Structure 1
Amino acid sequence: MNTMKMAMALLLGTLGAQAYANTVPTENLPVETYAYSTNLDIEHVISITEPANECAPVPVQMTYEDSHGERHVLQYQVMGTGCSS
């Protein structure tokens, strides 16, 4: 019975550490601006901000991890969601 409790505590601790790792704040990261010449190394996308409700190109930011596990914030332009049809 003791082994079962220990295994459950280890499992919950591992899941909690993984959840905490995904909530590391990105405020301290510099925002890189995308250009066609930018070399991208995107291993895992963490989040993308929603585009503004305008009918024009608007900036969005993507937070991602590269193949070395480092986090980056990339800003690029997309068409806003305010255009009808």
Structure 2
Amino acid sequence: MKMLILGFAALLATGSAFADTQTTEPVVHDKTGFFVNLDIAKDLSSNIISEECGIVPAQLIYLDHQGRKHVLDYQFQGMGCIGDN
């Protein structure tokens, strides 16, 4: 019985040693405003929908020069309105 308990304890110890302990860095949510100073090293994703009509929400996900991930939510003027010049 003692061997069974020791074997189970050893299994738990090795399982926790190989567990994924990698932490992810928090995502920085940039605030929108009249002027936002962006430090963009790499554009990861942007969802500009130019076929929409009127002001639509858009999002830009990018990495800065320090490798931190940023998310910027902003408003975009769609170009899909009929009769617009």
TM-score, normalising length from structure 1?
0.53
Structure 1: segments with no counterpart, 5+ residues: 1-27
Query: Size of the alignment, in residue pairs?
Result: 58
Query: Which structure is higher in strand share?
Result: 2
The alpha-carbon distance between structure 1 residues 62 and 80, as it changes in their structure 2 partners (threshold 3 A), is same
Q: 1:75: which partner in 2?
A: 73
Report runs of 4+ in structure 1 exceeding 3 Å deviation: 28-31
TM-score (norm 2): 0.53
Identify, as 1 or 2, the structure richer in helix.
1
Conserved 8 A contact 2:48-2:76? no
Q: Kindly, what percent of the aligned residue pairs are identical?
A: 36
Instruction: Report the Cα offset of residue 35 of structure 1.
Output: 1.5
Q: Name stretches of at least 5 consecutive residues in structure 2 with no aligned partner.
A: 1-25
The range that moved more, 47-56 or 70-79, is 47-56
